[in-house]
Amino acid sequence: MRAIWKGHLRFSLVTIPIHVYKATRVKGLPLHLLHRPCMSRIKYQYYCPVCERPVSNDELVKAYEYSKGKYVTIEDEELEKLKISSNKVINILYFTGKTEVSPIYFRDAYYLIPQDEPAIEAFSLLRRLLEEKEKVAIAKFTMHQREHIVCIEPLQNILSMRTLYYADEIQDTADLPYSDTRARLEAREMELASILIEHMTRPFDPKEFENGYHKALSELIEAKIGGKEVAVEREIEKRKVLNLMDALKRSIETEKVLLPKKGVVEAKVTKEKRRRRKA
């Protein structure tokens, strides 16, 4: 894993040098579009339907559509001015109970670890106290020129950090087409359902689930790439290198140059050898 951010975690007068790592990885298998007859990657081209011609990047300007067909343009320099420079600090604003922040607010997950040996003590202290007091830290920090609100909590021997949605990014549940009709709940039904729930309760194990589509696509790709012959390829490459080393040695001894040329396969792996390896 590689750290994606390096800076300090600040909590009042205490600053702890930390590294931030991504906690998740998206297992995507991006597919590209090729032109079937010649199998080359197709190229996207900007086209102006009014001028009826392709346009280049230099002719473009960003704009916001504030009403149908009406735009205000925004220059790159103007956007540049809105960006915030990072002060390389994750600033803890306050602490709150660990169940206070609804998971609805959680965005991306990160791991925090101390940067170096001297930072371990302060880091462990904070982690331990959060754990004992069952609290999480609410903090502000700037990454990629944007400000984020984050929630930091202990996770095993490190800290985890979630970026949070802003309040106005969360849809109001009152806007849902549903009103509580105060359905009358029968005691017997409640009891039955309760037994059912108890019966179906067990520890959560994320490992038992897998992305079936991803697995199937991945297998399809693997099968197309092949790879069964790779062991043989590598054997051939190794023979070539051994030959080269051998030729170098012999050249030294005999004072004659005996070097094999690039690309010449001197020793082929024989069928017999392949069979032996399979066995």
Residue 10 CB, shortest distance to other proteins, in Å, is 28
Among 95, 138, 160, 235, binds other proteins (CB under 8 A): 235
Among 108, 133, 259, 273, binds other proteins (CB under 8 A): 259
Residues 169-198 that bind other proteins (CB under 8 A): none
In a 13 Å sphere around the CA of 167, the CA atoms on its Cβ side amount to 0
| C-beta of 128 vs 268, nearer to other proteins | 268
Of the candidate spans 62-70, 180-188, 191-199, 227-235, the one that interacts with other proteins by CB under 8 A turns out to be 227-235
Return contacts of 267-271, CB within 8 angstroms, 24+ apart: 267/236, 267/239, 267/240, 267/243, 268/236, 268/239, 269/232, 269/235, 269/236, 269/239
| C-beta of 17 vs 260, nearer to other proteins | 260
Residue 140 CB, shortest distance to other proteins, in Å, is 28
**Distance separating the N- and C-terminal Cα atoms of the chain:** 38
Of the candidate spans 58-66, 121-129, 179-187, 250-258, the one that interacts with other proteins by CB under 8 A turns out to be 250-258
Are the C-beta atoms of residues 98 and 136 closer than 8 Å to each other?
yes
Among 29, 34, 60, 63, binds other proteins (CB under 8 A): 29
- 241 interacts with other proteins by CB under 8 A: yes
Based on the number of CB atoms within 10 Å of its own CB, is 235 exposed (0-12), middle (13-18) or buried (19 or more)?
middle
The sign of the dihedral angle between the CA atoms of 239, 244, 246, 247 is: positive
Among 34, 74, 129, 231, binds other proteins (CB under 8 A): 231
The residue whose two tokens read 């359905």 is 183
Which pair of tokens denotes residue 60?
């473009």
Are the C-beta atoms of residues 23 and 1 closer than 8 Å to each other?
no
Residues at the interface with other proteins (CB under 8 A): 2, 25, 27, 29, 218, 221-222, 225-227, 230-231, 233-235, 237-238, 240-246, 248-249, 251-252, 257, 259-260, 262-264
